[in-house]
Structure 1
Amino acid sequence: MRDVVVLGSTGSVGRQALELVGERPDDFKVVALAAGGGSVAELARQVLDHRPRVVALARPTAVQDLQLALYAAAKERGWATGEVTLPRIVAGPDAATEVAATPCDVVLNAITGAAGLRPTLATLAAGTRLALANKESLVIGGRLVTSAAAEGQIVPVDSEHSALAQCLRGGRAGEVDRLLLTASGGPFRGRSRAELADVTPEQAMAHPTWDMGRVITTNSATLVNKGLEVLEAHLLFGIGLDRIDVVVHPQSVVHSMVQFTDGSTLAQCSPPDMRLPIALGLVWPERLPGATAPVDWSRATSWTFEPLDSEAFPAVDVARRAGLAGGSAPAVFNAANEECVDAFHAGRIGFLQVMEVVTRVLEEHLRPAPAATAGDPSPADVGSTLVTDSGMGVEAVLAADAWARRRTAVLVEELSAVGGREPGRE
């Protein structure tokens, strides 16, 4: 029996994890859940299904809504009021961090975005196995996260990194030549840069393979998600950024590959179903029988591979630049992108301008710091200059994240004011 904490329980990965756990009550027990608070009806159903001791809500205003939803859901099931035992509810921006330190066997961090950083660090500090679906916390935390982790403590849940971890079992570290991350290519695979100018948010959300949330789906359309995954692979496996390639594979059956020094390549293949990497994250290094259906080899099929078009989709190259700079640069890349995704879906910038603005913000962050002046920097300048790996701490990461969001907001406003044309550079 494994005690499990699920952070981001109402998101796509969190829901699938709880479905998998619920099918195996003799193998898993959910001891705590954490969610943002935007889907209280779903969270109430999860609480009644799994009976965690503790529930964390990022929004304090959602506590009463959750309590009411719990009683309503219990009534729908025909339960008497006395049969409903409310879990302890903690609320606020640090609630997920608190439950991440709950004594258990594994914490699944499926929170979206930079909000997952403190819970990741809390899990590692508690010495608990971390099943990591929140790639952003590793990418923005960088060496801050990897130095806090014991060997083997972080198990990746991204399908690509789960695949790499499986393939790496096939050889010693010194035998690895390259990591090959596969990408579906998203909904706009094959389009030129000019053909991307007028795509809509609705089109960007029409992913051909995966059913994901808004940010991740949009990131898959821009290929920012693949850029983040390159940085994640670098940090997880200690392979240089110049030895990590992206290969477009629209069928999404080969989840990633490892090329060895003797010329052989090992690939991990399975239907596009997140239940497999989730299951591996929960029981690693073991396998959970029947986690998902295997490839059907009785049917004829074709798998294709093609190079990434970096001119139409520059996100991977921009991410590499952030990764090579290290320190606070990946946090700036991630934060600027998250703000641009929101602006794109609000109709304030176009699809191509997402990466134009992200690139601009990263360039500004990497400029040499101006000569020191007397006194403290203005609030607008805090986090504006690169902090190297040696100076990294949580506050430095969050300061860079906050500066990038402020600067992105200014550039988006300028673009909106001029009808979508790129504003003049300073």
Structure 2
Amino acid sequence: MCAKKVTVLGSTGSIGTQALDVIEKNGYEVVGLSANSSVLELENQVRRFRPPFACMVDERAARALRDALRDTDTKVLAGVDGLCELAAREEADVVLNSVVGMVGLRPTLAAIGAGKPVALANKETLVAGGKLVTEAARAKRVPILPVDSEHSAIFQCLQDRHSARALKKVILTASGGPFFGRGREELEKVSIEDALNHPNWSMGAKITVDSATLMNKGLELIEAAWLFDKTPDEIEIVVHRESVIHSLVEFDDHSVLAQLGVPDMRIPIQYALTYPERLPSPVKELSLTNYPTLHFAKPDIETFTCLKTCIEAARRGGLAPCAISGANEEAVALFLDGKIGFLEIGELVRGAMNTVPRADVYSLEDVLQTDAQARAYVRAQAR
């Protein structure tokens, strides 16, 4: 059997680097790599995996990478257009999109348009453009393979088509982040370092802050609605501190199935890349005796207002999820720059959602415009 050929978008981030670990262990071939601006890291990856194509989204970084790789045969693409070209290259059997942020939407559509299966770790793709992406995937008969541990867990529980038809409810588990159990007064003075101190997972800064605000779980609810054709009211969120049960499904007969494993992203990454096969894993086995007690609780949506706003945006539909996604991305960047407080993230996200008119029919241009307007709103309010 020929080795699978993989393009990894966002290869220098947390998911991207773990994906390369999985790819190397399985003997797969890397045919494309991309990063935003991390020239040295991407150069090292190119020299390690020798893909025919690489892309830097930042134009200046692309020029620097071209200079650094003059002694190689790798062609360096640039900008979002270059990212889309890389995603659509014919060499790839599967495109793993682990780009962070709204920039991931267009390359996802480009890969689908080229008939490529997409292993999806970019939340904004489905949050902002879920209708566009799922319709395109159906038209091209291209699978969207979830990489997030929660959506992968649900996906794995639904491999039997009879079970998929009987799906009643999706149950998303949440770690609760570093501030579980705290009230709003305690969150007033949260520092950047506090927000980046996740109890279970090692992730990039933006996603780690999203976990602290529970925005991450709200975005995952919207993703799950698109991936598994469920309404927001058919998706339940449960805080599970140990992150051993990655998510569950409930069927019409009230049977519940769960997928368990140690909290290591290489499990869902590998399943997305090897699907429908399962291969030996680089991850250690789960020993239930190491977790003699598992805890569950309801999320506090009055304290963690980002989650409450996401649920409301999912119910509104249209461009509301796009607005909260763009607003959150901008607000988290301001928080990480020390320009706003932790609780202001949620306030700005809700404010941006309330500026969006209802629109059941929308285009890619509408999505990009709504995203830009939401970001502008956040910047204006934060001055």
1:98 aligns with 85
1:36-75 → structure 2 map (5 Å cutoff): 36-37=36-37, 39-70=38-69
1:338-349 → structure 2 map (5 Å cutoff): 338-349=329-340
- TM-aligned CA deviation for residue 64 of structure 1: 3.7
1:33 aligns with 33
Say which SS state the counterpart of residue 409 (structure 1) adopts.
Answer: helix
Which is further off, 182-191 or 258-267?
258-267
In 2, are the aligned partners of 1:9 and 1:110 still within 8 Å (CA)?
yes
1:183-332 → structure 2 map (5 Å cutoff): 183-297=174-288, 299=290, 301-332=292-323
- TM-aligned CA deviation for residue 261 of structure 1: 1.9
C-alpha separation between the residues in 1 aligned to 2:154 and 2:327?
28
1:153 aligns with 143
Distance 1:152 1:118, change over 3 A: closer
Please provide the CA RMSD for this pair: 1.5
Distance 1:300 1:144, change over 3 A: closer
1:109 aligns with 97
1:20 aligns with 22
Say which SS state the counterpart of residue 142 (structure 1) adopts.
Answer: helix
In 2, are the aligned partners of 1:279 and 1:291 still within 8 Å (CA)?
no
- TM-aligned CA deviation for residue 314 of structure 1: 2.1
Q: Deviations over 1:37-67 (max 9, x none)?
A: 2x21111111011110011111121134224
Amino acid at match of 1:18: L
Q: Deviations over 1:289-308 (max 9, x none)?
A: 22422202454622111111
Say which SS state the counterpart of residue 148 (structure 1) adopts.
Answer: helix
- TM-aligned CA deviation for residue 93 of structure 1: 2.5
1:405 aligns with 2:378: no
Tell me the TM-score normalized by structure 2. Answer: 0.95
Identity %: 46
C-alpha separation between the residues in 2 aligned to 1:221 and 1:70?
39
Q: How many residues are paired up?
A: 377
Say which SS state the counterpart of residue 48 (structure 1) adopts.
Answer: helix
In 1, are the aligned partners of 2:116 and 2:142 still within 8 Å (CA)?
no
Distance 1:316 1:61, change over 3 A: same
Say which SS state the counterpart of residue 149 (structure 1) adopts.
Answer: helix
1:88 aligns with 75
- TM-aligned CA deviation for residue 189 of structure 1: 0.5
- TM-aligned CA deviation for residue 195 of structure 1: 1.3
Q: Which of 343, 349, 352 is 2:343 aligned to?
A: 352
In 1, are the aligned partners of 2:112 and 2:142 still within 8 Å (CA)?
no
- TM-aligned CA deviation for residue 94 of structure 1: 1.2
Q: Deviations over 1:311-335 (max 9, x none)?
A: 1112222112212222211111001
C-alpha separation between the residues in 2 aligned to 1:136 and 1:282?
20
Amino acid at match of 1:389: D
Say which SS state the counterpart of residue 304 (structure 2) adopts.
Answer: coil
- TM-aligned CA deviation for residue 139 of structure 1: 1.0
For structure 2, the residue ranges without an aligned partner over 5 or more in a row are: none
For structure 1, the residue ranges without an aligned partner over 5 or more in a row are: 72-83, 366-384, 414-426
Say which SS state the counterpart of residue 282 (structure 1) adopts.
Answer: helix
Give structure 1 regions of 4+ aligned residues with deviation exceeding 3 angstroms: 67-71, 297-300
In 1, are the aligned partners of 2:19 and 2:266 still within 8 Å (CA)?
yes
Which is further off, 322-331 or 178-187?
322-331
In 2, are the aligned partners of 1:230 and 1:316 still within 8 Å (CA)?
no
Q: Deviations over 1:225-270 (max 9, x none)?
A: 0000000000000011101011000100100000122121111000
Tell me the TM-score normalized by structure 1. Answer: 0.86
- TM-aligned CA deviation for residue 4 of structure 1: 0.5
In 2, are the aligned partners of 1:7 and 1:33 still within 8 Å (CA)?
yes
Which is further off, 141-150 or 290-299?
290-299
- TM-aligned CA deviation for residue 152 of structure 1: 5.8
Which is further off, 202-211 or 318-327?
318-327
- TM-aligned CA deviation for residue 347 of structure 1: 2.1
Say which SS state the counterpart of residue 389 (structure 1) adopts.
Answer: coil
Distance 1:48 1:356, change over 3 A: same
